[in-house]
Structure 1
Amino acid sequence: MKKKLLTLVGAALTSVLILAACGKSNSANGSKQVLTAATNAEMATLNSTKYSDTTSLEALENSFEGLYRFNAKNKPVLAGASSVAVSKDQKTYTFKLRKNAKWSNGDSVTAENYVYAWRKMVDPAAASPNSQQFQPIKNGTQIAAGKLPAKDLGIKALGKYKLQVTLEAPISYFSELLTGAPFYPQDQKVVKKYGSSYGTSSAKAVYNGPFVVKNWTGTDLKWNYVKNNHYWDKKAVKLQKVNVQVVKDAATAGNLYKTNKLDYAMLTTDYIKQYEHTSGYHSKPIPLIGYMSFNVHRKTTGNIHFRKAIAMAFNKKSLVNNVLHVGSPLNGIVPKNFAYNSKTGDDYRQEAGNMLTYNLKDARKEWAEAKKELGKDKITIQLLTSDTTDSKQIGEYLQSQLETNLPGLSVNLRSIPLKSRLAATSAYDYDMVYGTWQPDFADPVNFISDGGQYHLDGDYNNSNFRNLLNEAATTYATNPTKRWSVLIQAEKQLIQKDAFTAPVYQGGMSYLLKKKVKGLQISPYGTVLFYRNASIK
């Protein structure tokens, strides 16, 4: 798959309730420092070059560590690196790595581990769903396009513990970018030992983060995060273990919570009304997006008028108010309250404006044109979703809206486990797919050039779009005003003019947090939990 859904994703919940049992828990107490948590979807991989789902991302971010990580205030700080020197032109970064940083097998974490992993990430032969994140690194774009070899990537080992990274142009969000899983190192000795099976089970991986993953064979619905005794900063990690289990059904998760078999339960939006007046309830908008992508290799979904009709034929406000009970309509690929103009302070989404809104009149006009070009009066299409409760509910809503508002359209739903959905999308086994995605850093380009949009790199070859992205990354890299302008133009080309992707909604996160639990962090970009600083008091 060329894109992550974090793509990612179809796995991410539009709303998450973190619920803790009242009274004594079977699994968590102050002396044992053990938590039991639920997630709503299977893990797909522990290979940082292969993931494209939120459950895998959460596992990676708790068991691996890169040059930077988020601190307790969700600000990027040095992690695997102990210091960094930046050149005057702000294009070359020289990192000194921590000599006491170890892999869970005792191997040292070296500069070559980063070089190896990054080159593999950007090599088109690896088909990583996250390769586009390396576009700011020197030659990253050309390598991903097959125009240069992977060894030409702007990363060098200057010694065992000294690493140099060169950018195409200065970027203000580089430290945030490097907190992400695509930039983690890999112990090449272990990767080469397991070959294509690396990361397919917890035993076939090695970890350099605060926890190691245990008891996941690749299909399990339960696994553990266990404190990593080889972690360089293990004294800062208080939790001894986090027990995780997949609970897709909200009612089941609720029952497990009520019977004290879960300390944390991730539940669907159905439970927001039930718990919104409960002590400890919190709700906030997050930059998670829900969207539909199209298989442009098929005649129907490859038709631009069909895509525009679909994108404008469902009531987003009704979805948010009556189904999700949280979040807001999304009329572009970049969410609101996410990225701000460094010169004016204005929100990007406000500046860019609405691009694909619910507009029944225009939708039916495009629908008529699509039927004319396709030579059909009745069209049947399949909508692929994961089998989580939220995804199925949203799929059912979209099915009802589209069939009602576009005469002659029949929508068949296909809801399958997330891991299977990701595989189907990667193999082009779909007409339309619904998914959610969380960003990696706070810049509009993260959504415009990625955003979980399936096969964007391989299938969307609009020259104007590519030229605008290139200008944003090079010509206007140090001119915030002009860079903002060309990014808006690029988004308009992608979403408004070509409807390559149909934005659906911006998510929200609602949760209840047990007072005994301190230091539990939620990613600034979505629903991923960070356990590194958590403890039970």
Structure 2
Amino acid sequence: MASLKLNLRAAALIGSLLIGASPALAEAVLHRGNAGEPQTLDQAHTSINIEEFILKDLYEGLTIYDAAGKIVPGAAETWELSDDGTVYTFKLRADAKWSDGSPVTAEDFAFSFRRVEDPKTAAEYANILFPIKNAEKVNKGEVPVDQLGVKAVDEKTLEVTLERPTPFFLELLAHQTALPVSKASVEKNGADFVKPGVMVSNGAFKLTAHVPNDSLTVEKNTNYWDAANVKLDKVIFYPIDDQAASVRRFEAKEMDLAYNFSADQIERLRTSYGEQVHVSPTLATYYYAFDTRQEPYNDVRVRRALSMAVDRDFLAKEIYSGSQLPSYSMVPPGIESYGDPAKADFADMSQLDREDKAIELMKEAGYGEGGKPLNIEIRYNTNPNHERVATAVADMWKNTFGAKVSLVNLDVSSHYAYLQEGGKFNVARAGWVADYADAENFLALSLSTNKTFNYGHFENAEFDALMKKSYEEQDPAARSKIMHEAETLLMKEQPIAPFLTQADLWLVSERVKGWQDNAPNAHLSKFLSVAE
């Protein structure tokens, strides 16, 4: 009898130990909806964010975006910049390793950058690294690849020489194109280096499985320099481009994150899920461009009047269901190095007051009621929402000025080809999504020297001079001030009329911890955890 009691006590003790240990033994798995199947996991050929989300979990660049969307050290622990702003010297982390345990070296980064610029690679985003000395010439085949301005000084020291000072270069290094590859792995495995079981990566996770159109699984990389702070054991990405299906899987608790759901579902989802619905302003601007080469759009009064008469609140709420936000600046909010953008001077007026002022300006310019007739053609790329915006804007201009407005649409490729090749127009719809989180990426569109993206052929010597000054200024605060002056001038002249700032739509389960909305839409899994 005594032995039976002892056995029962021992069994109970073992059971309690096992029960107590089970939470610690349970895998921490994050289930991420990813809005589509990645076409590539090769840094040199990636171009879309559904690939970026995966690649930045697998690899780590010299710099990264933290949970708040701020640039911080990644594989590079520190860096120094030469007095003339053209030479960066990066010190890689001593404990930075690849997932196979080998050290991450400066030569790995030099090799990776050369690979991107090598014309044989045909990298889609090679231009991201064009600020590096000779990068554009290398990419065009004008000089040999070994002339690229990158050099491994020693195993952990990388020297990068630029063509000219580039204050936003650290932002460019956080782009997925600048992620490193293992030189040894690529040379050994060729194109197969991207496959599960073959891929060698230096990020917080390593690729373990990929079933196309079903799931992609990454597991914690125990050789990662910061592995002790990575709280997830596994992340499973689900490539669901059907937005309704993505929402259903989130509602069924099969996914913790769902990206880019349909905007018309915002209110319903907010009613059911409250703060789990995230509408986060991103670095993207929806705008109309005026062709300043012809009358009456060469008259600043006409451009300002047309811009002021557009009710941006209506466009944001009625057409985009709150998934885009009213905008009065070319630069979207959320760029840390820039701060609050410089808005048009009519931004704080009521819509009625704006319309009254717009009518005054149009009359002053000699158009509208009692003046010359106003015939406007709006061009846009084929899309139901763009058509709805154009129709609404046409009604606003008709009701405010008595304008006769017609609409013309082309498929997206033809629309932008027409604009970029210098085709004449009255008013044209356009949009810009940041390639990097710096105000320059938006303001440079209106430089007179920008023959590709300055659709309205705006020319203003003062604006050009301010932008030139910003390129030469190395002090961040002083540079920001100069660019604000440039944007203030741009918003006064209104060669482009910003209407909306795009928002990223996420469903984030309450079990996900560490999530922060941010303008670069950067959400590395290494900063997240899950609570059961």
Q: TM-score, normalised by structure 1?
A: 0.66
Aligned counterpart in structure 2 of residue 473 of structure 1, from 468, 471, 485: 471
- Where in structure 1 are there 5+ consecutive unaligned residues? 1-27, 369-376, 386-391, 415-420
Distance 1:29 1:270 in 2: 41
Give the aligned partner of residue 160 of structure 2: 165
* SS of aligned partner of 2:343: helix
User: Matched residues in 2 for 1:470 and 1:123: separation?
Assistant: 30
2:229 is aligned with 1:264: no
Equivalent of residue 440 in structure 1, options 433, 436, 442: 436
Structure 2 contact 61–180 (Cα < 8 Å) conserved? yes
- Structure 2 unaligned spans of 5+: 1-22, 368-374, 398-402
Are 2:516 and 1:518 equivalent residues in the alignment?
Answer: no
Find out whether 1:397 has 2:388 as its counterpart. yes
Larger radius of gyration: 2
Alignment map for 1:446-461 (pairs within 5 Å): 446-449=441-444
SS of residue in 2 equivalent to 1:69: strand
Kindly provide the amino acid, as one letter, of the partner of residue 30 in structure 2. Answer: L
Cα 1:286–1:496 change in 2 (3 A) is: same
* Aligned partner of residue 273 in structure 1, secondary structure: helix
Paired residue for 1:243? 236
Are 1:208 and 2:202 counterparts?
A: yes
Could you tell me which residue of structure 2 aligns to residue 9 of structure 1? none
Task: Give, in whole Å, the separation in 1 of the partners of 2:69 and 2:376.
Answer: 51
Is this contact kept in 1: 2:220–2:232, CA < 8 A? yes
Q: Deviations over 1:16-66 (max 9, x none)?
A: xxxxxxxxxxxx998121122223344343233333322122122211101
Contact 1:286 / 1:506 at 8 angstroms: preserved in 2? yes
Contact 1:80 1:97 in 2 (8 A): yes
In structure 2, the residue corresponding to 1:262 is in which secondary structure?
Answer: coil
Letter in 2 for 1:112: E
For the pair 1:535 / 2:529, whether they are aligned, the reply is yes
Q: Is the 8 A contact 1:30 1:536 kept in 2?
A: no
Deviation at 1:157, TM superposition (A): 0.8
Aligned to 2:14: none
State whether structure 2 residue 333 is matched by structure 1 residue 336: yes
Within a 5 Å distance, the mapping from 1:31-430 to structure 2 comes to 31-72=26-67, 74-87=69-82, 91-105=86-100, 107-121=102-116, 128=123, 130-134=125-129, 137-138=132-133, 151-167=146-162, 175-191=170-186, 206-213=200-207, 215-216=209-210, 220=213, 222-266=215-259, 267-277=261-271, 278-281=273-276, 283=278, 285-291=280-286, 315-322=311-318, 323-338=320-335, 347-350=340-343, 383-384=381-382, 394-398=385-389, 400-401=391-392, 409-411=406-408
CA contact (8 A) 1:270 1:324 kept: yes
CA positional deviation for 1:532? 0.6
**Could you tell me how far 1:534 is from its partner in structure 2?**
1.9
Give the % identical residues.
23
CA separation of 1:279/1:317 partners in 2, compared to 1, >3 Å: closer, same or farther? Answer: closer
The alignment of Structure 1 onto Structure 2 pairs a total of residues equal to 470
CA–CA distance in 2 between the matches of 1:348 and 1:150? 39
Can you list the C-alpha shifts for 1:309-363, whole angstroms capped at 9, x where unaligned?
Answer: 999997532121122324422344311353566xxxx733238987xx9999899
Asked if the contact 1:439/1:525 (under 8 Å) is kept, the reply is no
Gap change, CA 1:488 and 1:131, over 3 Å in 2: farther
Aligned to 1:371: none
> Per-residue displacement from partner, 1:133-158 (whole Å, max 9, x unpaired)?
44654556776788766544443210
Partner of 1:19: none
Say if 1:434 and 1:532 are closer, same or farther in 2 by CA, change over 3 A.
Answer: farther
Higher helix share: 2
Distance 1:225 1:495 in 2: 49
Given the superposition, is the C-alpha separation of residues 426 and 351 from structure 1 closer, same or farther in structure 2, using an over 3 Å criterion?
closer
Counterpart of 1:14? Answer: none
**Any idea what SS the aligned residue of 1:276 has?**
helix
What is the rounded CA distance, in whole Å, between the counterparts of 1:104 and 1:327 in structure 2? 40
Q: Is the 8 A contact 1:41 1:246 kept in 2?
A: yes
CA distance in 2, matches of 1:51, 1:433: 27
Q: 1:275 to 1:438 in 2, by over 3 A?
A: farther
Shift of 1:88: 5.4
Relative to structure 1, the CA distance from residue 494 to residue 187 in structure 2 (aligned partners, 3 Å threshold; closer, same or farther) is farther
SS at match of 2:43: coil
Query: In the alignment, residue 239 of structure 1 is paired with which amino acid?
Result: L
Deviation at 1:447, TM superposition (A): 2.8
Residue aligned with 2:332, SS: coil
* SS of residue in 1 equivalent to 2:44: coil
SS of residue in 1 equivalent to 2:267:
helix
Q: Secondary structure at the match of 2:160?
A: strand
Assess if the C-alpha contact under 8 Å between 1:106 and 1:230 holds in 2.
yes
Larger relative contact order (Cα-Cα within 8 Å, sequence gap ≥ 6):
1
Q: For each residue in 1:225-248, what CA deviation from the matched residue of structure 2 results, as whole angstroms up to 9, or x when unmatched?
A: 332344333332222222222334
Question: What is the letter of the counterpart of residue 232 of structure 1?
Answer: W
* Residue 371 of structure 2: aligned partner: none
Distance 1:270 1:228 in 2: 39
Q: In 2, are the aligned partners of 1:113 and 1:187 still within 8 Å (CA)?
A: yes
Q: Deviations over 1:392-423 (max 9, x none)?
A: 6x345235436766867455586xxxxxx899
TM-score scaled to structure 2, two decimals? 0.67
The Cα RMSD (Å) is 5.3
Return the offset for 1:163. 0.9
Counterpart code for 2:316: V
Specify whether residues 480 and 258 from structure 1 end up closer, same or farther in structure 2 by C-alpha distance, changes over 3 A only.
closer
Which amino acid in the other structure matches residue 325 of structure 1? G
* Secondary structure of the corresponding residue to residue 348 of structure 1: coil
User: Deviation per CA, 1:353-403, whole angstroms, max 9, x where unpaired?
Assistant: 87xx9999899xx9x9xxxxxxxx998967256xxxxxx6x3452354367
